[in-house]
A and B are shown apart, each in its own frame.
Chain A
Amino acid sequence: MKKSFKNIFSNGLGQLTIPIIAIIILVGFNLFRDPSFFSIEITQNNEGNNVLSGNLISIINGASELAILAMGMTLVTAACGGQDISVGAAAAIAGSAFVKILKAGETISGGRVIFAFLFACIVAMCFGAFNGTLVAVFKIQPMIATLILYTCGRSIAYWINGGATPTFSSSIVNSIGGFIPGIPIPTPVLIVVAVGVIFKLVFHFTSLELMTQSVGINGSAARLNGINSTFIKLLSFIILGLCVAVSGCIGVSRLGLINHETLLLDIEMDTILAVAIGGNNLGGGKFKVGGSIIGAYVIQTLTITLYAMKVSSTDVKAYKAIVIILLVVIGSPVVKAKFGKFMSKLRAGKGTALVKGAE
């Protein structure tokens, strides 16, 4: 760990520069406007538990589904060089499957919840495998392949629950979407942490990271080195499927109902945006999951900041667009190059030793 810290300081933050700067700017802006913006208080929620609340909490809480989806999307983007635009629709499917099992019985016990979640995972992973097969086996561009599920996914979700938007009530499920009694931190946040830890463990105990990057950067070379590209790409979609299931279930648990039309609507765009803000190349290759997570929080912070400035929810989109443009303009290679030239001109006096001879 010490070594990587040192690397960060000597090489600059590299990929994470943009997302971190974005967060700093947003946080700074908010503190400037309203120094108490990020204050945290302890209040009592509906169930009488002591919980944390405040803008900071609602940002971190609200971004949970987005952060989890962004983690999975990072893998798919890295391995397949494209984006999965069906994650919102797939989450609706997963959520519907979750609710269907929940409502299949008289009462909602802990066991039933677990079973429902597993069922949602399997359903989502199957659809992930469908997308993955189109991409990995049939070599179809990810955006095109996932256009299919994007078109009909929400309708499939609708069909799963027989054309209804069922509601349910269960204290267990509520605690998933809200707070677990005795723990002041919102559960979705804990789930994000758990998923993040699982990703880290997977990267540590397998060679997934190296393989994925190789496949994403040069599929032909990866193959000739024995890497099973098809497997890696398929796996990335299945992992995203798991993330979709988790997000879908969280989304449903918050509301206590499943509405196929509105659940996580348009979240695919935000997810892709999070991956891009995180400094990842949308064309595939090297990636940093941490960047995407920060990207998710950047987006959420932006949204909450705008709400706090009394921007109506329908107008938020326009402001979001401006901020996004600013961010990507700063991060664009052309601007970076000009900035780099400018900085090196400033440093010209120091004189760096040049190595002779090059390509």
Chain B
Amino acid sequence: MKKNLTKREPFSDTQLLMTITISIFVIMYLSAIGFLGGGFLHFQQVCDMLNDNASLIIVSCGLTIVMIGGGIDISVGAVTSLVVMSCVLYLNNEGNIFVAILLALGIGLAFGLVHGFLISYLEIQPFIVTLAGMFFARGMTTILSVNPQKVSHEGFAALRDTKIEISWLGYTANNGNLIPARMELGVVVAFICLIVVFIVLKYVRLGRCFYAMGGNQQSALMLGINVKKTRFLSYVISGLLSGISGFVFMMHTGAGNSTNAAGMEMNAIAASIIGGTLLTGGVGNVAGTFFGVMTLTTIKKIVVSSGLNDPWWQSITTGGMLCFFILLQSIVLSRRNAKKKAKI
């Protein structure tokens, strides 16, 4: 009774959503080049987007992992901000850059461990736990320093100003000089994070366990997966990535401020969703998330470039874009499932 199966395996849900995201991003960027020309043609534009969003990319990776596992972490922005402030203060007190990095990782890890423990072993709802984490981190940031603090560490300034120059992706300025594309170190870190998380999700056992847990927690338990440990680790990883993101953020702005990374968690969630991650869990991947971040940023740049100067346009178009993606995903997925149901 062998069924007549087609030769090519149809896309899984994850792959389909990601394909949609990437296609839309490419179309959007190409139309931006076409209609608005100018800045969009230069690779530097892309570099700027990457430079500005390196920390967002990093936390989004963490959030994607957590969401695949069926959870949520709304503390990432606050933790990032706390890490920035802590590292800035530390560096200004005769600190060592390496120790500062360890401090960043340590703070992120600490939050991740506490979140993971409360959510996984005490079975408290993730929203509440990470909400408390967010409150705590924001509060601690202002307790550390209500006023903005700038980094005065020389070694750090050198690090911050280090830029990777890619001359062949540059452009010729009006005065005939060749200006190479400049990319900050933080972007390299972001890409490393992306690649590592990608590998873990696809090729490492723990990564597949995240998917299993998010797909059907009861089943995962019955299949012998240590769900508690898996969930715990997802939050630890997210915390760790928040720590890394904090350091990268500091490398980008060079200052600590209590309003840093405000709303970053929602942007990370939006990026993951646009990239094809389902909040219900079991579906998602970081490549899509990366394009989700790029899509969000591109929209903002398009709005600015097209002369819509009123301050409300950016948010409204971002909201509209989000609405579009959300509806698209829901329609595509429900069509697929309806088709499957009719077959029996």
* Per-residue interface assignment for chain A, residues 132 to 144, with 1 indicating a CB less than 8 Å from any chain B CB and 0 otherwise: 0010001111011
B259 to A: closest C-beta gap in Å: 11
Indicate if the CB atoms of A332 and B122 lie closer than 8 Å. Answer: yes
The segment from A7-15, A30-38, A99-107, A154-162 found at the interface with B is A154-162
A303-347: contact bitstring with B at CB < 8 Å (1 yes, 0 no)? 000000000101111111110110011011111000000000000
Residues in A265-322 with C-beta less than 8 Å from chain B: 269, 272-273, 276, 282-283, 312, 314-322
Return 11 A-B CB contacts under 8 Å, by A number. A140-B330, A151-B322, A152-B312, A152-B316, A163-B312, A282-B127, A282-B128, A317-B136, A320-B132, A329-B122, A334-B121
Q: A314 — nearest CB in chain B belongs to which residue?
A: B142
Task: Tell yes or no: B131 within 8 A of A by CB.
Answer: yes
A149 within 8 A of B: yes
Given A138-B330, A321-B133, A322-B136, CB of A158 within 8 Å of CB of B312: yes
A156 and B270 form a contact (CB under 8 A): no
Q: State A159–B313 Cα separation when bound (angstroms).
A: 9
Give Cα distance in the complex from A268 to B89, angstroms: 32
**Neighbour of A314 across the interface among B258, B326, B334, CB < 8 A:** B258
Asked if A156 and B316 sit within 8 Å, CB to CB, the answer is yes
Q: How large is the interface on B (under 10, 10 to 19, 20 to 34, 35 or more residues)?
A: 35 or more
Q: Say if the beta carbon of A145 comes within 8 Å of chain B.
A: yes
User: Which residue on chain B has the smallest CB distance to residue A335?
Assistant: B122
Q: Dominant SS at the A interface?
A: helix
Mark interface residues in B249-271 (1 if CB within 8 Å of A CB, else 0): 00000000010000000100110
Contact: A318 with B135, CB < 8 Å? yes
* Nearest-CB residue, chain B, relative to A86: B319
Our pick among A148, A153, A269 for the contact of B131 (Cβ within 8 Å) is A269
A-B interface contact total, Cβ < 8 Å = 141
Which of chain A's residues 228-285 have a Cβ closer than 8 Å to chain B?
269, 272-273, 276, 282-283
Which chain B residues have a beta carbon within 8 Å of chain A's beta carbons?
72, 118, 121-125, 127-129, 131-136, 138-140, 142-143, 146, 258, 266, 269-270, 273, 279-280, 310-320, 322-323, 326-327, 330-331, 334
Closest approach, in angstroms, between the C-beta of A3 and any C-beta of chain B? 32
Task: Give Cα distance in the complex from A143 to B266, angstroms.
Answer: 10
**How far in angstroms is the closest Cβ of chain B from A331?**
8
Question: Is A328's CB under 8 angstroms from B319's CB?
Answer: no
CA distance A213 to B139 in the complex (A): 37
Contacts of B127 in A (CB 8 A): 83, 272, 276, 282
Overall SS of chain B's interface? helix
State whether A163 touches B311 (Cβ < 8 A). yes
State whether the Cβ of A51 lies closer than 8 Å to any Cβ in chain B: no
- Asked if A273 and B131 make an inter-chain contact with CB atoms under 8 angstroms apart, the answer reads yes
4 further contact pairs, Cβ within 8 A, besides A134-B327, A140-B330: A282-B125, A316-B139, A324-B128, A324-B132
Q: Which residues of A contact B125 (CB under 8 A)?
A: 276, 282-283, 328
A150–B263 Cα distance when bound, in Å, is 10
**A147/B322 in contact, CB under 8 A:** yes
CB–CB A141/B280 < 8 A = yes
Partner of B322, one of A148, A276, A319: A148
Choose one: B139, B312, B323; the contact of A317 (CB below 8 Å): B139
A148/B326 contact (C-beta < 8 A), A159-B312, A272-B127, A325-B132 known = yes
Decide if A320 touches B139 in the complex (CB within 8 Å).
yes
Closest to A324 in B: B132
Known: A141-B280, A163-B310, A272-B131. A314 touches B320 (CB 8 A): no
